[in-house]
Structure 1
């Protein structure tokens, strides 16, 4: 595909994204009298498929930090949906398990979500469903690759700053803006001396 076509598709995607995200909210986990976030539901869902999990494992699977997961688990414990138990073999290890209430809530949310998805899929012809799921798998793979690819050392801000500096020095033949555009680098060099 040409760069113009890619830019056009990116523009269309930008236009569609707010509606898409708003529409996805219709599938968010809902339980009367209980506020469960999507990430909290992901934790419950992971725990429903196994006996228990440790904090680090949950953080990796959801794609967040151990600190965020710990805070989320604290809220789920207060809601009575999960329990925290120390390992018999290693006291440093803490296992997170679904409580009976958590199991019941997770099953109810799963039933409601699946019913909602079936209602949505009824509106789409079968051949388009297959194409959609194949495309969705490719998008997930591409996003996963982007997320796991090592980040470059330079931030976007520093790349822009460097570009402006190069253009300025080429035009003027002088580095008159060097001190303004690169104050951190100069400070860091002074520290090294």
Structure 2
């Protein structure tokens, strides 16, 4: 289903609060562009930002079931399958069936996938340094609190 974000920004809620959703979308686009540009600097041109959540989940737990990956990154199983299959083709992860229950499929990082971790950590640090420049700890806390409330409302 496609949704036009401009429909929300045209909704009159007063005090320009309707611009918040548009601003969040613009920030997300800028963050994604930054990440892609940084990955290119490291010579990583085959991994998209959509693969990042999967790789981060695997950096924390080197082996997960496909169902666990789906839950952790909050994406449906078919989407996760397509993303993981591409990571398999690129050599970053492997898929293994459980020996006792063949319905269960595990995903694990390969050596090539593990080698991405310091690169991703560096890009994340640079992104967060830029993202939070000129923002106080109190403002960070307030922003996180408000965004969590919004997330819970949806």
Gap runs ≥5 in structure 2: 1-11
Q: Which of 91, 97, 104 is matched with 2:108 structurally?
A: 97
Q: Which of 86, 89, 101 is matched with 1:75 structurally?
A: 86
The Cα offsets for residues 17-74 of structure 1, whole Å up to 9 and x where unpaired, read as 4542332224425242423222211000001101311111211222221111111111
What TM-score, normalized to structure 2?
Answer: 0.75
What does residue 62 of structure 2 align with? 51
Runs of 4+ in 1 over 4 A off after TM superposition: none
**Aligned CA distance change for structure 1 residues 98 and 38 (closer, same or farther; 3 Å):** same
What does residue 22 of structure 1 align with? 29
* Residues 41 and 106 in structure 1, CA contact (< 8 A), matched pair in contact too: no
What TM-score, normalized to structure 1?
Answer: 0.62
RMSD: 2.4
What does residue 134 of structure 2 align with? 124
| Distance in 2 separating the partners of 1:142 and 1:110 | 28
Gap runs ≥5 in structure 1: 147-193
Query: Of the two, which has the highest radius of gyration?
Result: 1
What does residue 146 of structure 2 align with? 138
* Residues 66 and 106 in structure 2, CA contact (< 8 A), matched pair in contact too: yes
The Cα offsets for residues 86-134 of structure 1, whole Å up to 9 and x where unpaired, read as 113322211100111111113212212212322443x3143xx422333
Q: How far 1:139 sits from its partner (Å)?
A: 1.1
Aligned residue-pair number: 139
Which protein has greater RCO, CA pairs closer than 8 Å, 6+ apart?
2
**Aligned CA distance change for structure 1 residues 16 and 91 (closer, same or farther; 3 Å):** closer
> Larger helix proportion, structure 1 or 2?
1
* Residues 55 and 69 in structure 1, CA contact (< 8 A), matched pair in contact too: yes
